[in-house]
Amino acid sequence: MSVLPPDLDEAGFATFLEQLRGAVGADWVWSGEADMFPYRDSFSPVWNTGEERHASAAVAPADVEQVSEIVRIARRHRVPLFPISTGKNFGYGGPSPNVNGSVVLDLKRMNRVIEINEARAYALVEPGVSYFDLYREIQERGLKLMVDCPDPGWGSPIGNSLERGVGYTMPHFRDHFGAHCGMEVVLPDGEVMRTGMGALPGSDTWQEYPYGFGPDPAGLFAQGPFGVVTKMGFRLLPLPEYYRSGMISVPRRADFAKLVDHVNYLSDSGLIGEVEFGSPLSALMGDPQFLALATKTGGPSNAEMDAAAEAAGLHSWHVELQIFGPEATTLANWNYASDRILSDIPGAIAIAGDHFPLPATDDQLDNQTQPYRSSIKRRRSLGVPSLGAWKIVRDDGHVGFFPVLPRTAEAVFEMQRVLGDAMKEFPTLPPFFNALTMPLFWHTHTFQMVFAPSIKHDDPAHNAITHAAMKKCVAVAAQHGWGDYRAAPIYQDDVSDTYGFNNHILRRFHEQLKDAIDPDGIIAPGRGGVWPRRFRS
Amino acid sequence: MISRREVIKWGAAAPAFAACSHAAFASGVQGCDAFLLDQRFAAQVPQNHWGIPVMRFDGDVTGHWYQTIDPAWRQRGYVLGGITGSDALFVLETLAQQHGRRVVSRSQVGAADARGIAPVSWIIAPVHPSVVA
């Protein structure tokens, strides 16, 4: 499907493309149908419908000077650009833009690892660098540093952190935007800006102090339409000497409250890395009677769930802990964590897990040596990029709704009930929200839950259900104070609408900024629900 | 650019891989530098057949990507054939696009399973001037 940029006719588009070719070379500008296919969102629930967003062309600059030139050309022709790093944002829109006819600014050629400083534990990279690339550079140079990568690890640190993506190691590294330090940005007029200490000529602390002096605009470029990020620094975790794991289970449903409180304390104190909550009762979900209980309208009572657990001889919950550091410290932390929880929750059981020096062997990475059934994906937990996550993707992909909720059992149980009941309207979808749905402890200080219904390219009826369910989830969650943290372009306005405090002052503030620096909407208009005046009308 | 003749040749070759008979496989390997075989669907092909390296995996292509394919795709050339699940092919096809390569032939060679994953035989070849041999 070929489309034109907004307000541009075919002759104008041809002139625009010719100028792009002059800036980057003819081999790095694409507009043919086959060339543009990879820039579609292959996980889109509106695949092949009128709602699907299509780019008109793509251009791949080699350096920041070419990015500036492209932006200036786009500004002259009033053509929206949609910057992508490596375009792997699947589940959240992939490489597809907010506005039909946008030109994808594909930064894949800008793939230099500019600096890795082992002693000071940071890296400075370009957008086309993937987590695999960064990991490979660290390995080949024999540096004692750990990357915190998403799963799968084929995306880029810049793209993922600008989407506020998450990882799986220690709390302050799992928040990938939070772990960034310093960025270089091409603004909508083509000027190049550096944030933080990067604004001070001669500074050697760009990747060590993010703020510099005065207001720090870095946050505007995450999920925002204010510039093209061309370099970004990241704090890295010094490679821990040792890794230790363990599992603690608790018998009763109500015990989850204390378990969560203890895990919060351990995490906030820096004693543990990412945890995996789970329920031994998941093994019963194949039993129709138990499934009916776990998905009961209004939610089952604690007594009903405890009776089912007792009848099956199973505990209600468990948590897998992961600990990093010197060997003696990891052992002390495990002993402290298990003593703390077991002394407070009657009937709790602790099982010491796998432990070994880092870096791990392949067997250890494949998690073949754990003395109990584990849900931990060891590669991502140890900062080793993987593509294995694709083995669990159903059909042609999925969309993702990940509401943010407080780190309390009360909030977890409420979300199980509320969204479980709301999704009964869509009985053909799996029961993502039920009495055993676990919180994800990915971000540093919040829980999330996952709703990720599949899409099928050849089944528009199925996709329509997924699409409707996504919109309902966003709306119902917001009624209870739970907001989505990240969304595909087709949902960004819905999500933005839910952040409506004081008559949507946050969005109006963003719009004022957008109007001031990019009124024609050259950079990703609509991204994050922020539209410039030109498109608001 | 790859030639139309090469595309036609590979288009004919990909279905031949799926037969997995030694004769059919041998006829298909011409012009390919390596094969990926997803053991969930195609276990019986020899490890190194007619001089073409055969890389086996079980749905997760991470190891071969990191050790072999990524380094090879940073260079010019390197035509890769395979019989894999459609999930693994999606991963490789997406990575290929970033490296100036494209699926030039694909043929579904079996029914999809309950997860919607079907076995596919395919060839990925360089198409961008920066990486064609």
Which tens digits make up the pLDDT trace of A367-397? 878 889 999 999 999 999 999 887 667 788 9
Chain B residues within 8 angstroms (CB to CB) of chain A: 59-62, 65-66, 70, 87-88, 90-91, 94-95, 97-98, 102, 115-116, 128-130
Q: Say yes or no: A257 and A375 in one domain.
A: yes
Q: Answer yes or no: is pLDDT of B4 > 50.
A: no
Q: Where are the domains of chain B?
A: 4-126
A38 at B interface, C-beta within 8 A: yes
Q: Do B33 and B78 touch, CB atoms closer than 8 A? A: yes
User: What's the number of CA atoms in the CB half-sphere (13 Å) around residue A151?
Assistant: 21
CA gap A417, A294 in Å, rounded = 10
Record the tokens describing residue B56, joined without a space.
Answer: 């086996």
Neighbours of A320 (CB within 10 A): 22
SS3 A164: coil
* Contacts A386 to B, Cβ<8 Å: 60, 62
Q: Answer yes or no: is pLDDT of B7 > 70.
A: no
Which residue in chain A has the smallest CA separation from B57? Answer: A388
* Contacts A397 to B, Cβ<8 Å: 90
CA gap A372, A360 in Å, rounded = 18
Q: What is the count of residue pairs from A and B with beta carbons less than 8 Å apart? A: 51
Q: Answer yes or no: is pLDDT of B105 > 70.
A: yes
Contact A394 B97 (CB under 8 A): no
How does DSSP assign A10-70, residue by residue? HHHHHHHHHHHHHHH-GGGEE-SHHHHGGGS-TT-TTTTSTT----SEEE--SSHHHHHHH
Q: Say yes or no: A219 and A246 in one domain.
A: no
DSSP letter for A398, please.
B
Indicate the residue type of A222.
Answer: A
CA gap A373, A389 in Å, rounded = 18
Helices and strands (H, E) in chain A, number of each type: 17, 17
From edge to edge, which strands make up the β-sheet containing B101-108?
Answer: B48-49, B52-57, B34-38, B80-85, B119-126, B101-108
User: Which residues contact residue A288 at a Cβ distance below 8 angstroms, ignoring those fewer than 6 apart?
Assistant: none
**What is the end-to-end Cα distance of chain B in Å, rounded?**
9
CA gap A214, B101 in Å, rounded = 46
Q: Say yes or no: A87 and A40 in one domain.
A: yes
Q: Please report, in tens digits, the pLDDT of each residue of chain A (537 residues total).
A: 689 999 999 999 999 999 999 999 999 999 999 999 999 999 999 999 999 999 999 999 999 999 999 999 999 999 999 999 999 999 999 999 999 999 999 999 999 999 999 999 999 999 999 999 999 999 999 999 999 999 999 999 999 999 999 999 999 999 999 999 999 999 999 999 999 999 999 999 999 999 999 999 999 999 999 999 999 999 999 999 999 999 999 999 999 999 999 999 999 999 999 999 999 999 999 999 999 999 999 999 999 999 999 999 999 999 999 999 999 999 999 999 999 999 999 999 999 999 999 999 999 998 878 889 999 999 999 999 999 887 667 788 999 999 999 999 999 999 999 999 999 999 999 999 999 999 999 999 999 999 999 999 999 999 999 999 999 999 999 999 999 999 999 999 999 999 999 999 999 999 999 999 999 999 999 999 999 999 997
Q: Say yes or no: A127 and A23 in one domain.
A: no
A353 at B interface, C-beta within 8 A: no
Q: Say yes or no: A123 and A218 in one domain.
A: yes
Q: Do A233 and A206 touch, CB atoms closer than 8 A? A: yes
Q: Answer yes or no: is pLDDT of B19 > 70.
A: no
Q: Say yes or no: A166 and A230 in one domain.
A: yes
Backbone phi and psi for residue A412, each to the nearest 5 degrees, phi listed first = -60, -50
Mean pLDDT, all residues of chain A: 97
pLDDT of residue B48: 56
Give domain status of residue A409, yes or no. Answer: no
* Contacts B115 to A, Cβ<8 Å: 393-395
How does DSSP assign A239-289, residue by residue? PPSEEEEEEEEESSTTHHHHHHHHHHHHHHTTS----EEE-GGGGGTTSHH
Q: Say yes or no: A253 and A350 in one domain.
A: yes
Q: Do A144 and A238 touch, CB atoms closer than 8 A? A: yes
Its domain, for residue A190, covers 113-238
Please name the residue that has the structure tokens 């543009």: A36
DSSP letter for A218, please.
G
pLDDT of residue A211: 97
**What is the end-to-end Cα distance of chain A in Å, rounded?**
26
* Contacts A454 to B, Cβ<8 Å: 116
Q: What share of chain A is helix, strand, coil (3-state, %, to 5)?
A: 40, 15, 45
Number of structural domains chain A divides into: 4
pLDDT in tens, B51-67: 789 999 999 999 999 99
A-interface mutation test, from B55, B86, B87, B104, most A Cβ less than 10 A away: B87
Give domain status of residue A159, yes or no. Answer: yes
pLDDT of residue B45: 57
A42 at B interface, C-beta within 8 A: yes
Q: Say yes or no: A335 and A373 in one domain.
A: yes
A408 at B interface, C-beta within 8 A: no
Nearest-10 Cα torsion for A386, A391, A396, A398: -70
Give domain status of residue A126, yes or no. Answer: yes
pLDDT of residue B5: 47
pLDDT of residue B29: 59
Give domain status of residue A519, yes or no. Answer: yes
Q: Mark A178-191 as b/e (b = at least 16 C-beta within 10 Å).
A: bbbbbbbbbbbebe
A85 at B interface, C-beta within 8 A: no
Q: Say yes or no: A254 and A227 in one domain.
A: no
Contact A154 B91 (CB under 8 A): yes
Q: Do B52 and B33 touch, CB atoms closer than 8 A? A: yes
Q: Say yes or no: A234 and A166 in one domain.
A: yes
Q: Say yes or no: A141 and A233 in one domain.
A: yes
Contact B116 A456 (CB under 8 A): yes
pLDDT of residue B3: 46
SS3 A228: strand
* Contacts A388 to B, Cβ<8 Å: 60, 62
Q: Say yes or no: A378 and A365 in one domain.
A: yes
pLDDT in tens, A282-323: 999 999 999 999 999 999 999 999 999 999 999 999 999 999
Contact B88 A390 (CB under 8 A): yes
SS3 A77: helix
CA gap A297, A238 in Å, rounded = 48
CA gap A104, A107 in Å, rounded = 9
pLDDT of residue B20: 47
How does DSSP assign A341-377, residue by residue? HHTTSTT-EEEEEEEEESSPPHHHHTT---SS-----
User: Which residues contact residue B119 at a Cβ distance below 8 angstroms, ignoring those fewer than 6 apart?
Assistant: B18, B38, B40, B41, B42, B83, B84, B85, B86, B108, B109, B110
* Contacts B73 to A, Cβ<8 Å: none
pLDDT of residue B13: 54
Percent of chain B at pLDDT exceeding 70:
71
A386 at B interface, C-beta within 8 A: yes
Please name the residue that has the structure tokens 């890395």: A273
At residue B17 the predicted structure's pLDDT band, cuts being 50, 70 and 90, is: low
Domain holding A321: CATH number?
A: 3.40.462.10
pLDDT of residue A537: 73
Domain holding A514: CATH number?
A: 1.10.45.10
